[in-house]
Structure 1
Amino acid sequence: MTCPLASRFKLALKPCTAASRLGATDLGLDELHDMRTNSEMITNLQPNGPPLIADMGTGYGGLIFIAKPVQQYHLAGVAGFHIEDQVMQKRSGRLQGKEVVDIETYIQRTKACKLAATQLHSDIVIVARTDALQSRDYKECIERLCRAWDEGADMGIIKVVASKEQAHQAVQDLAP
């Protein structure tokens, strides 16, 4: 069975960019230039096609740098991106041993993205992503996403939910 949304969105994900541009796995080797270039190429393949959602990882630097990738994705024609709560030397979302930043740092990333988008007068969609399920608990994941929503995120993702039932519960807990 395929996802009904799969045909409605294009995805520029770091693992795909790392593999196709760098010949490497997603270990944080790809940089903003790589992701922006790949995203722009994808959006230009079919300009009136499905919207592109890109991966911003941890924001390509500290809080002061987050405005730059928001600007670059906006200029590349990206419809949305996700920002995550892993530490700066991130790991692929499917690997074990991921570490996440404290909740306040995560929320500051979300706020910085929202501020940059607002300053650009951009309608780019900000997707808050948490990888905390592996190292923290489910309740904290929900708290992180709710706080990110309060600070301007448009959507949220819990990376690698444990079961279909847990995914269903997350939808209920995060509604509306």
Structure 2
Amino acid sequence: MLKQEIEKALTVLKNGGVILYPTDTVWGLGCDATNEQAVAKINDIKGRASDKSFIILLDTDAKLQSYVTEIPDVAYDLIEYAENPLTLVFPNAKNLAKNVINADGSVGIRIVKHDFCNQLIQRFRKPITSTSANISGQPTPLFFDDISDEVKAAVDHIVDWEQGLKTNKKPSTIMKLAPGGQFSFIRR
């Protein structure tokens, strides 16, 4: 079952589509983080400003150097020892769709520890976007059943995995890293 859902999601991602999928935090809207048109579709679905950046997901910290210019050593320690999902905001993003990257050149990256996401990203060989599955300004849906019909109707594929899961999940902690390794919390 998991393998089939990954195959379906892969096909959609490779064709520039948007998926509604479970993550290590809340349900997300995802697409190829290197495809500007796919990212624009998510902004349309959410009704959000096109200058708002995205979090991207990777399956391993070994891929960080492909998407950011400088990785302070502390980043690897933070990733390794984080007990809860952690998004790190790195300066100087590269090799991503320009509408994924923040105006200051930074990008938020989370290394996922979630079976579906990890296997999907590993097979896709590119990062995928992750943003909450809601219309901009509306509350973040904590469970699949909380996602609006409007969002569900707008995506190209809804992943049939963990839809009935009622584990209380929340958005990730977000920390901003400076080139020298200093960090600050954006969201706890």
Q: TM-score, normalised by structure 2?
A: 0.30
- Structure number having the greater helix percentage: 1
> Larger relative contact order (C-alpha < 8 A, sep ≥ 6)?
2
- Structure number having the greater strand percentage: 2
Q: TM-score, normalised by structure 1?
A: 0.31
